[in-house]
Structure 1
Amino acid sequence: MVVAEVPKLASAAEYFFKMGVEGKRFRPTVLLLMATALNVQISKPASEGVADMFSTELRTRLQSIAEITEMIHVASLLHDDVLDDADTRRGIGSLNFVMGNKISVLAGDFLLSRACITLASLKNTEVVSLIATAVEHLVTGETMQMSSSAEERSSMDYYLQKTYYKTASLISNSCKSIALLTGQTTEVALLAYEYGKNLGLAFQLIDDVLDFTGTSSSLGKGSLSDIRHGIVTAPILYAIEEFPELRSVVDRGLDNPENMDLALEYLGKSHGIQRTRELAAKHASLASAAIPCQRTMTRMFKDPDGHLKN
């Protein structure tokens, strides 16, 4: 999907899809598992051959959603690294560090365009709208992070909204798209959305914890990368609740080494890390709760032969 006519652009677009630097592929894995869980026959086939053809076509469409989602995610990483002036990503040199900002931005744009072409080929207006909304949310979340006021930076509600836009929206809308393409009811599709939303929030909350507790080798990025860029995440926000004086330190700017060291000192005395883990566990539980509900709803709308009722 990322083949380009210009070799340099092709090389840049494929940079984070190459063996050894492709990351965990968390999103495609979740989506393919969702597809496996919800992939049922929409109508009774006339013959086994028709069934096989239908099954193959549906699997291809569902796999396309996983590929589209990962391309959009990687495009956002390329753009984020330019905005953050990052020099590493996933344990290697970031694309902007290796090939420059211009080619990195163009590679991100190219991946988005390829994702759009593949998305259009699915010929499902609702799915197109869902994925387009997720892309809009990525831009909105990044803008919220860049332009927040002092009041907003210290708000947990603001942080969670931004986190939904930057991380959870893409996976939640993609999960819903999987449900729609498999012919599920509106109720099941909404449960798929809730699953993806809460899983995405839990994923990001744990990532925020690892930014303080992980190592460069385990994270594929420098530890404390967020706080070094002045980004306030859940552990610090919880620490502010326990130590209100920390807010003035945050307001002065965490990109200042002295302020960062002081913030880390307050964090160490607080329950910020523990409370963030607890919030992540809460969202993980909400995601888990949506799974049996999806199964129940699917059974309610299936006939004895396992086909969805009209």
Structure 2
Amino acid sequence: MVYQSIFTAIEDDLQDLNDNLESMVGARHPVLNAASEHLFSAGGKRLRPAIVILIAHNTLSTPSITASHKRLAEITEIIHTASLVHDDVIDECITRRGVTTVHSLFSNKIAVLAGDFLFAQSSWYLANLNNLSVVKTISKVITDFAEGEVRQGLTHFNYTISVDAYIEKSFYKTASLIAASCQGAAMLSQLNEQEQNQYYLYGKHMGLAFQIVDDILDIIGTKKKLGKPIGSDLKNGNLTAPILFTLYDSYELRNLIDQEFENKSDISKAVSIIQRGTGLNKAKDLAEEHMQTALSTLEPLQRQENNKFLSLVLVGHYILQQIY
């Protein structure tokens, strides 16, 4: 209900985005084309492009947003989807958003090529915005994705990593795109550099809170809601906030991770340990902390006569409500 109330005002923009995505990434080769159609037909909340659209509406004096803002929202979703394709190959996920992943439906080779193709398409559309500042800001995100994956891959099942290292990795894998797209939207609205940076910080901390919430849901969610089995992060050795906080108090969890969940029942046993411990509440506190930081960055930007910022605040509340 909250989600619907936030995005009612931009439902036409989101519908345009959905209509455009498949046509934007249409490939000449039928297999790549089928892979692209499969990806975008899976849907998803479109949260990242929605935030771009909301910022555009907040920063423009016209009733409708520009074609460049709409294209940036579309580019953001294409980049995000490309990263998911590669993530699924690396993590060997069978389902995503409740549907079969590209590598499971086709092959690892096709999935990697499909992800590369989407990154290439996003770069082409990005260049055609003809805004060098936006190009520089968004293109760095693809580098950050690779950095995040390497950092994650080097720390699989390593229970000695710090929460700070987890946050840094989460920035590269998730928050970087949201931060850059928020800043890019402000750039397209021709805001000054200080305001652009405020929107960047909003997106950065919103993205970190979003990732922490997603990691909590991996422990407390359901397969139906997540579109994938719970405990997927644990199974792949990705140690997230609720896991790291629980490790402070549980030698049993540490032993299960050290043995890389060698028994079939080890994942469910580990999930149970985390659910009973204090790590979940500590992770929730961390998510709330980053969300509060995100929302506080909006305060210098607000005008008394402008209530549009309420939608950006409500996005934050929507993200947090999923874990309560």
Show structure 1 runs of 4+ deviating over 3 A.
149-153, 243-249, 254-266, 296-299
Q: Which letter does structure 1 place at the counterpart of 2:185?
A: I
1:72 to 55, 79, 98: 79
Does structure 2 conserve the Cα–Cα contact (< 8 Å) formed by 1:153 and 1:159? no
| Alpha-carbon distance in structure 1 between the residues aligned to 2:135 and 2:160 | 32
The 5 Å alignment of 1:223-262 reads 223-243=230-250, 246-254=253-261, 257=264, 259-262=266-269
Deviations 1:28-83 (A, max 9, x none): 11111111111247xxxxxxxxxxxxx87x61101111111110110011111111
Does structure 2 conserve the Cα–Cα contact (< 8 Å) formed by 1:231 and 1:254? no
2:45 to 24, 37, 52: 24
2:228 to 209, 221, 224: 221
Deviations 1:219-249 (A, max 9, x none): 1111111111121110011112233564344
Whether 2:56 is the aligned partner of 1:35: answer: yes
Whether 2:216 is the aligned partner of 1:209: answer: yes
**Which residue of structure 1 aligns with residue 143 of structure 2?**
136
| Alpha-carbon distance in structure 1 between the residues aligned to 2:262 and 2:128 | 45
| Alpha-carbon distance in structure 2 between the residues aligned to 1:104 and 1:135 | 17
Q: Which letter does structure 1 place at the counterpart of 2:71?
A: S
**Which residue of structure 1 aligns with residue 15 of structure 2?**
none
Instruction: Compute the displacement of 1:148 (Å).
Output: 2.1
Instruction: Report which of the two structures shows the higher radius of gyration computed on alpha carbons.
Output: 1
CA RMSD of aligned residues (A): 2.3
Whether 2:129 is the aligned partner of 1:106: answer: no
Does structure 2 conserve the Cα–Cα contact (< 8 Å) formed by 1:235 and 1:272? yes
Does structure 2 conserve the Cα–Cα contact (< 8 Å) formed by 1:13 and 1:110? no
Instruction: Compute the displacement of 1:3 (Å).
Output: 1.6
**Which residue of structure 2 aligns with residue 302 of structure 1?**
none
The 5 Å alignment of 1:134-283 reads 134-148=141-155, 154-243=161-250, 246-254=253-261, 257=264, 259-283=266-290
How many aligned residue pairs are there?
A: 283
Instruction: Compute the displacement of 1:259 (Å).
Output: 4.8
Does structure 2 conserve the Cα–Cα contact (< 8 Å) formed by 1:212 and 1:223? yes
| Alpha-carbon distance in structure 1 between the residues aligned to 2:58 and 2:262 | 45
Does structure 2 conserve the Cα–Cα contact (< 8 Å) formed by 1:72 and 1:115? yes
Instruction: Compute the displacement of 1:7 (Å).
Output: 2.1
Deviations 1:172-201 (A, max 9, x none): 011001101100011110110011011111
5+ unaligned residues in a row in structure 1: which ranges?
Answer: 42-54, 300-310
| Alpha-carbon distance in structure 2 between the residues aligned to 1:34 and 1:298 | 16
Does structure 2 conserve the Cα–Cα contact (< 8 Å) formed by 1:228 and 1:255? no
**Which residue of structure 1 aligns with residue 19 of structure 2?**
none
Alignment identity in percent? 37
**Which residue of structure 1 aligns with residue 318 of structure 2?**
none
Does structure 1 conserve the Cα–Cα contact (< 8 Å) formed by 2:147 and 2:172? yes
Q: Which letter does structure 2 place at the counterpart of 1:29?
A: A
Q: Which letter does structure 2 place at the counterpart of 1:35?
A: A
Change in 2 beyond 3 A, CA 1:256/1:193:
farther
| Alpha-carbon distance in structure 2 between the residues aligned to 1:100 and 1:215 | 27
Does structure 2 conserve the Cα–Cα contact (< 8 Å) formed by 1:187 and 1:297? no
Instruction: Compute the displacement of 1:203 (Å).
Output: 0.8
Q: Which stretch shows the higher mean deviation, 256-265 or 121-130?
A: 256-265
| Alpha-carbon distance in structure 1 between the residues aligned to 2:187 and 2:164 | 30
Deviations 1:95-136 (A, max 9, x none): 111111111111111111110111001111221111111111
SS at match of 1:14: helix
5+ unaligned residues in a row in structure 2: which ranges?
Answer: 1-23, 307-324
| Alpha-carbon distance in structure 2 between the residues aligned to 1:100 and 1:245 | 37
| Alpha-carbon distance in structure 1 between the residues aligned to 2:142 and 2:264 | 34
| Alpha-carbon distance in structure 2 between the residues aligned to 1:59 and 1:298 | 22
SS at match of 1:3: coil
Q: Which stretch shows the higher mean deviation, 283-292 or 237-246?
A: 237-246
| Alpha-carbon distance in structure 1 between the residues aligned to 2:67 and 2:189 | 12
Instruction: Compute the displacement of 1:258 (Å).
Output: 5.6
Q: State the TM-score, normalized to the length of structure 2.
A: 0.81
| Alpha-carbon distance in structure 1 between the residues aligned to 2:141 and 2:305 | 26
**Which residue of structure 2 aligns with residue 49 of structure 1?**
none
